[in-house]
Amino acid sequence: MAQIKGIKIMLVDDEPNILQFLEMGLVGEGFEVQTAPDGITAVTLAKQFQPHIVILDVMMPGMDGFEVCRLLKKTENVAIIMLTAKDEVDDRVKGLTLGADDYVVKPFSFEELLARIHARIRNQFPNLLGEVLIGPFRIDDRRKEIAYQERVLELSPTEYELLKFMVINHGLVLSKSVILDKVWGYDFGGEENIVEVYIRSLRDKLRDKEHRVIRTLRGAGYRVDAT
């Protein structure tokens, strides 16, 4: 996963096992981590710790995740990823309405959470990225340069944005519509087939003849494997 230092993450959950597991994993990735066992503690600590990202459980006794989200968004420049129960669509809608930036459905994989964290950093704190290492990829956002296996790729601006988006979100299946929205913009009026054209070009430049780096999942989209 990406090696990023200087980025602060706060974990808020009333389950000690989840806090310990996530803290160990995120510290191992180079993040500075603060934990909070409840909402009231989280709001107090956030003023001192000033996190860039908060991983926030919805269901907690006392002050729930929704109220914590509302208060933090009111006073802090922070990205919030909410942890919601499976199939609780109302929770996700309410969280997003209150200002949450993303959500992860329990149970989730650590790799999925990492991918969403890096997506938040890219979208909300791009100045913190600098040079990011993700598996065999090196992304230098200041130079707008991507290297694969130490070989700098010759990319057009759109190819750069597309590959960066897919690598930052590696392990996740990205549909054509999501790619169009995030790379070309929601008001793009062209055809979805343009994604296939650019994917084909990226595979050529990655020398990915067997599609092991950028995989196609029929009917679902594309996934980058950064191993």
Q: What is the pLDDT of residues 185-209, one digit of tens each?
A: 866 666 778 999 999 999 999 999 9
Classify 8-125 by CATH class.
alpha beta
Position with higher pLDDT, 178 vs 128: 178
DSSP 3-state assignment of 9? strand
CA-to-CA distance for 225 and 190, rounded, in angstroms? 28
Domains 8-125 and 131-224 share a fold: no
Could you give the C-alpha distances from 162 to 23, 166, 176, in angstroms and in order? 31, 6, 11
Q: How is residue 38 annotated by DSSP? A: S
Q: What's the whole-number mean pLDDT along residues 23-42?
A: 90
CA-to-CA distance for 169 and 173, rounded, in angstroms? 9
CATH 1.10.10.10 fits 131-224, yes or no: yes
CA-to-CA distance for 182 and 158, rounded, in angstroms? 11
What residues have CB less than 8 Å from 90, skipping those under 6 apart?
none
- Say what angle helices 193-206 and 157-168 make with each other, to 10 degrees: 80
pTM of the model: 0.58
Q: What is the pLDDT of residues 111-156, one digit of tens each?
A: 889 888 988 887 788 767 667 778 899 888 778 899 999 999 999 9
Strand partners, 134: 137
By the 8 A CB rule, do 206 and 214 touch? yes
Residue 92 has pLDDT above 80, yes or no: no
Domain boundaries, the chain: 8-125, 131-224
By the 8 A CB rule, do 67 and 43 touch? no
Q: Based on C-alpha coordinates, what's the Rg of the chain?
A: 18
Cis peptide before 16 (omega within 30 of 0): no
Backbone region of residue 91 per phi and psi (left: phi > 0; alpha: psi in -120 to 50; beta: other values): alpha
CA-to-CA distance for 71 and 4, rounded, in angstroms? 27
Residue 88 has pLDDT above 70, yes or no: no
Residue 28 has pLDDT above 60, yes or no: yes
Please report the pLDDT score of residue 87 as a whole number.
Answer: 65
Residue 224 has pLDDT above 80, yes or no: yes
